[in-house]
Each structure stands twice: as C-alpha cells, then as structure tokens.
Amino acid sequence: MSTAFALGDAIAKALLYVLPSQWSTRIQKNCGEVSFLVLKTGKTKTKRKMTLIEGVFATLLFDLAIFNTDNFFINFIIRTFTRFQNSWDRPFINQSEAKDEVGKFCENIGIEQTPWVWDKQPQEYKCLNDFFSRTYAPAYAPSIGDQDVVSPACCTMSLYSDNGSLQRLLIKGCDYALDKVGLRPPEDLTL
C-alpha cells in the first residue's frame, strides 16, 4: 500500500469516528463489498465498491450532498471530472502512446492484461474512449447461455431485489425519479 493510500485510509478512519453515526454508516455501506460473477470462469468474486477515503469523499459531497450541489466547490469538482472525461476523446499521438495510456488505464482500474482478451491490441486504439467501448476477441467472448440478465458491458452491475430497495436514485447529489430516466414502465416489461 502506498504512503498516499495509507494516509488517506488513516484520515478516513478518523473521520468515521467523528462524523455523525448515520453518515459513518452510510459511508461504510457505500464502501461495502459487492459480489459479481466472472462470466469467463463462472466463479463469483467479491471486491470493495471503493476505498474508504473515496467513500468519505463521494458520500459526503455527492450522496449526502452536505454542501448542497449548488455551490462553487462542488461545481468545480464536477467540472474537473467532466474535463477529464472529455479528454478521453483526444486522439493518441502514436501507437506507443496508445499502448502506454491503455496499459495505465487497465492498471488503474484493475483490468487484467494477461491474457489480452480484447479485439484490438493496446496500440491499435485511437483514444481512451475507443478502448472504453472495446469488444471481446472472438476466442474470449463470454458465453451468456440462457441467463436472465445480460450486461452489454464489461462492468459491475447492481441488482435491486425490489422497487422498495431503490426508493431514491441519487447520482452526484441529484435525485432522479426512476420514471424520468428513460426506463420503460414496469407494465411494459412483463412477459
């Protein structure tokens, strides 16, 4: 563990002791473990949703929105992340940069690089957004069989057992009603 992560973890643990218990509980829940199925192996794995310091930051600023979302500081953070995300469309200068940047991206978010299971080699991607929308190489494409749920992405999906467990969908401090996010009404989804 790097010094920065150790320091962040220590700060986060200290904050959990001094914050109101409802906030600390919410932070721990947001940092909790999530189980997921690895289609390639058929095994279930578990990982933390985020580090403790990320959980403190995200929960206080966005989930609980303790500073509200209509202020300079929060909007600066959102603009900074947006600027970073928009840079994903910047073309790589050459294949060497593509290979380096794709490799760093994989390392940062834990995408396995051996074996390389994607349709193009790292140096063949034109920008990070090109890699983000990658597809599996035919030899590694997972078999979905007769599964009830298929995720069209290489991601971790969250499954809510009922509408009661999803009373409120909070994204970056803003409430979104499920009937306004483009999902079909439940009566249209019955078989």
The yes-or-no verdict on residue 166 having pLDDT over 70 is: no
| pLDDT, average across residues 90-119 | 89
Mapping DSSP to helix (H, G, I), strand (E, B) and coil, where does residue 22 land? Answer: helix
Write the pLDDT tens digit of every residue in 13-69.
Answer: 999 999 888 888 888 888 888 777 766 677 788 888 778 888 888 888 777 777 776
Band (pLDDT 50/70/90 cuts) for residue 186 is low
Is the bond preceding residue 115 a cis peptide, omega within 30 degrees?
yes
Percent of the chain with pLDDT over 70: 64
Residue 51's pLDDT is 81
Reduced to 3 DSSP states, what percent helix, strand and coil does the chain have, rounded to the nearest 5? 50, 10, 40
Predicted confidence at residue 93, as pLDDT, reads 94
Long-range CB contacts (within 8 A, 24+) of 72-75: 74/173
Instruction: State the Cα–Cα distance between residues 87 and 79, nearest whole angstrom.
Output: 12
CA–CA distance from 112 to each of 9, 102, 107 (Å)?
A: 25, 12, 8
In whole angstroms, what is the distance from residue 120 CA to residue 77 CA?
34
